Amino acid sequence: MPKNCLIVLGLMGLDLDSRNYFLIRGASEEDLLAVMNINRVCLPENYTYSFFETILKSFPKSFLVAEVNGKIAGYIMCRVERIFSKFQRFKIVKAGHVISIAVLPEYRRIGIAASIMKNAMKILRDEYGCSEIFLEVRISNTPAINLYEKLGFIKVDRIKGYYMDGEDAYLMARELTFLE
């Protein structure tokens, strides 16, 4: 969480140092249209309403939104999967998969993405029992890669042609044993 962050309900943060206050909270069905709008504005990969709804119903604790002055400014959507560990050979682990994370352009660089990711990591570990977290990111998305590395993620693989336009993705992961 950013410095000087107030813990709300033990999990969500309210940034008190920024010009723009933001609140991280669990998503609700009423938030899905705003989340879909952010997804369409920020990312070339878009999902259907029913996909967002299914993730929200299946993994409600790890689907979070960020509010600025009552407006949804960003979100993270995660699910839990059983995978081969990215860190221990031949071991199957429970891992959080960051399906999608986005922040509207006008609300970037005030700590929302880092805060929402840290909250999701804590929830995935403490509420869902995950020992690892992973995500895919476009190899051209340097700002996101830098954020993930700052949060302790490492590049564990390069997936050729992962995206529909043919761009490769880095598979990035980190263990969830120790969190700030």
pLDDT at 20: 56
pLDDT at 157: 98
pLDDT at 8: 36
Across residues 1-14, what is the average pLDDT?
Answer: 37
pLDDT at 180: 66
Place of tokens 């000087």: 4
DSSP E strands in the chain: the ranges are 5-8, 12-15, 22-26, 63-68, 71-84, 92-103, 132-138, 154-159, 169-175
First and final C-alpha spacing in the chain? 8
Across residues 137-156, what is the average pLDDT?
Answer: 97
pLDDT at 103: 97
Which of these CATH numbers, 3.40.630.30, 3.40.50.2000, 3.50.50.60, 1.10.3720.10, describes 5-175? 3.40.630.30
Across residues 106-118, what is the average pLDDT?
Answer: 94
Residue 57 neighbours by CB under 8 Å, 6+ apart = none
Alpha-carbon distance 141 to 143, whole Å?
6
Q: Give pTM, 2 decimals.
A: 0.88
pLDDT at 17: 47
Nearest to 99 by CA among 66, 51, 147, 61: 51
Across residues 78-98, what is the average pLDDT?
Answer: 96
Residue-wise pLDDT tens digits, 55-77: 999 999 999 999 998 999 999 99
Share of the chain above pLDDT 90, in %: 82
pLDDT at 2: 38
Across residues 40-61, what is the average pLDDT?
Answer: 96
Say if residue 3's pLDDT is above 60. no
